[in-house]
Amino acid sequence: MLLNWTVMILYNYFSAMFVGPGYVPLGWTPEKSQDCMYLQYCKVCQSYKAPRSHHCRKCNRCVMKMDHHCPWINNCCGYQNHASFTLFLLLAPLGCIHASFIFVMTMYTQLYNRISFGWSSVKIDMSAAKRDPRPIIPFGLSAFAASLFALGLALGTTIAVGMLFIIQMKVILTNKTSIESWIEEKAKDRIQYYQTGETFIFPYDTGSKWKNFKQVFTWSGIPEGDGLDWPVRDGCHQYTLTIEQLKQKADKRVRSVRYRAIDDYSGVCCPVTKGVKTFFTTPCTEEPRIALSKGDLILATRGLKHWMYGEKILDSAADGGIRERGWFPRKCVEKCQYDSETDQPVDGEKKNR
């Protein structure tokens, strides 16, 4: 049974790794040209981003139904390999639980055969078992230490990977991805901030957990659909989510604050010369850092106490310029006289938008 766990775990692991998530075809455009206004355009892939797709900086492609980029499989989790990845997250804890049971029972039986109880002390003899028959495989102190270490790894994997499985199942049963859950949260914040009176309805949740489950897990192993067109619930259409993404993108540009670099920054993860607090509070994320030179302009969209995230303007054109995104130390920049990408916007105008 332990070998069966191993085979199934490795099969799903390598399937998630080598099958991949599926990518939006290069140069893809919707069938109706007027639908392009509802979609974002990817300059890298030279195509429009299909509904539920996102561009991955690590894969350098637009991924269909992207959930996240997983460094453990060196690939994205998305449309084609979501089922294999989730099964791997399920089978790995189950196999580790089985292994933990073997380790615990092995150590228990071996210690039981080596413990002698005296009137005032308990002695453990790890040299050999005191009962016959003698074990075929010797179990000494080194074997006990190795078993204890392996038990810790198995329990740690069970907890860590098991939590990831629970998170994945939550989004699958609502027919979402981790990115789409974040988009839905931002939609609620945007509506509340601007008080528009809108009601955002996630378009791909069928309302049935079983139907949502079947869109990912099928007997053939091939998920439903083609990764470009998706069934939607009543009252929504194919571009309900992409329209919300465009609104959030415009809102981010309004809320962005312009900063000017006052100190050089090489782009290292943990800069030593920028202060002790900056060094020890570096963001724990795979998002990149951007190098800064004095005079660079940056549009900051979010930040921490000692770090900020934003886009460095590389071209003079504010709207069509190429930008480089990433984290940078807060002490390397200063706020410009106007606080957003537009000159001196009024708070009331932001609120209306």
Catalytic residues: 70
How far apart are alpha carbons 188 and 4 in whole angstroms? 45
What is residue 22's three-state secondary structure? coil
Whether the CB-CB separation of 179 and 54 falls below 8 Å is answered with yes
* Environment class of 48 (CB within 10 Å of its CB; exposed 0-12, middle 13-18, buried 19+): buried
Q: What separation in angstroms does the CA of 312 have from each of 131, 259, 330?
A: 73, 9, 14
How far apart are alpha carbons 190 and 88 in whole angstroms? 36
How far apart are alpha carbons 350 and 83 in whole angstroms? 42
Question: Shortest CA distance to 89 belongs to which of 172, 182, 176?
Answer: 172
Distance in angstroms between the alpha carbons of the first and the last residue of the chain: 60
* Environment class of 124 (CB within 10 Å of its CB; exposed 0-12, middle 13-18, buried 19+): exposed
How far apart are alpha carbons 224 and 295 in whole angstroms? 51
How far apart are alpha carbons 88 and 148 in whole angstroms? 25
**Tokens in use for 331?**
């002490």
Where do we find the tokens 């003899």? 125
What single-letter amino acid sits at 70? C
Find the largest Cα–Cα distance for the chain.
Answer: 89
Beta strands in 108-168 (DSSP E): 115-117, 122-124
DSSP 8-state secondary structure symbol assigned to residue 34? G
